[in-house]
């Protein structure tokens, strides 16, 4: 019996060594670097959820780990979180959401997601300061806009998986979000009816896309945006708090930091880049 137990520990340790050997720390940090205890919990977690996972990619360790990390390796809590996610994806028809017509929303609420940072992570740029969130709130389009954000977030957060499918040597697991708040006004983006939209977006991000972002950069952030931040902060996970960097409207202060993360060839002209403009189609 003791020999069997020791054999299991050895095999788990060997698997852990192989797993750690394949990782490029600069690209995915601690995502796949596990202690022996964490590896054993990953095995327990997989055993409990694997039969309910509808897609092959969901059964991969690189996918399963994010749920454990989101719940500090509490296996019971991670099982509950993942099961809730699966029910949400089924109810919201998330596997078919890209087939819906988003052309009108793509024009009114633009985002771009074709750049990469210096570690190969996909970069998504949202020009939130030009989004007319108030219009959606007062015309009854809030639910449609929220679904559009679910579509956009799901698309962006799945890009690392698509990169790994295209390139077997890729170890990218996360993305970077840049939110440009130039043009933000309390009237159009910070109105009282707008606040539930932001809360809903953050809640969905935390519940259904844990550990998606390595960095969340808020640029050109006016003082008035603190109203929105105060409303959504209680919903932030610790990982999101660690990822969030908020910069004001002084471009000379935030641009050197931005360019230390992302080359200008991967950024829009509006942020000092050379790749594209906000008003052009991807």
pLDDT tens sequence across 138-181: 998 999 999 999 999 999 999 999 999 998 888 899 999 999 99
Q: What is the CA radius of gyration of the chain?
A: 20
* Beta strands per DSSP E along the chain: 111-116, 122-126, 175-180, 213-219, 244-246
Note the pTM of the prediction, 2 decimals. 0.86
**Measuring CA to CA, how many Å separate 229 from each of 107, 177, 183?**
26, 16, 17
CATH 3.40.525.10 domain position(s) in the chain:
102-271
**77 phi and psi angles, rounded to 5 deg:** -65, -40
State the span(s) of the chain assigned CATH 1.10.8.20. 2-91
CATH 3.40.50.1000 fits 2-91, yes or no: no
Q: Which CATH class is domain 102-271?
A: alpha beta
pLDDT tens sequence across 233-264 = 999 999 999 999 999 999 999 999 999 999 99
């Amino acid at each position: 019996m003791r020999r069997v137990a020791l054999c299991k520990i050895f095999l788990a340790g060997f698997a852990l060594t192989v797993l750690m050997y394949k990782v490029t720390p600069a690209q995915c940090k601690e995502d796949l670097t596990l202690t022996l205890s964490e590896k054993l919990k990953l095995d327990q977690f997989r055993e409990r959820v694997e039969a309910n996972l509808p897609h092959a990619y969901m059964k991969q360790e690189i996918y399963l780990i994010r749920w454990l990390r989101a719940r500090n390796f509490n296996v019971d809590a991670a099982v509950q979180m993942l099961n809730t996610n699966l029910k949400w994806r089924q109810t919201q028809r998330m596997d078919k959401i890209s087939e819906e017509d988003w052309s009108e929303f793509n024009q009114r609420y633009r985002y771009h997601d074709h750049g990469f940072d210096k570690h190969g992570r996909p970069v998504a740029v949202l020009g939130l300061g030009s989004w007319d969130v108030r219009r959606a709130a007062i015309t009854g389009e809030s639910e449609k806009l929220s679904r559009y954000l679910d579509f956009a977030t799901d698309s962006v957060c799945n890009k690392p998986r698509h990169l790994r499918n295209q390139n077997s040597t890729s170890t990218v697991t996360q993305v970077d979000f840049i939110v440009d708040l130039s043009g933000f006004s309390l009237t159009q983006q910070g109105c009282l009816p707008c606040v539930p939209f932001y809360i809903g977006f953050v809640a969905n991000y935390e519940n259904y896309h844990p550990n998606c972002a390595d960095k969340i950069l808020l640029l050109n952030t006016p003082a008035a945006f603190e109203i929105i931040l105060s409303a959504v902060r209680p919903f932030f996970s610790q990982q999101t708090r660690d990822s969030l960097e908020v910069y004001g409207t002084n471009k000379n202060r935030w641009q050197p930091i931005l360019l230390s993360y992302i080359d200008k060839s991967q950024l829009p002209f509006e942020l000092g880049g050379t790749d594209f403009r906000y008003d052009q189609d991807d």
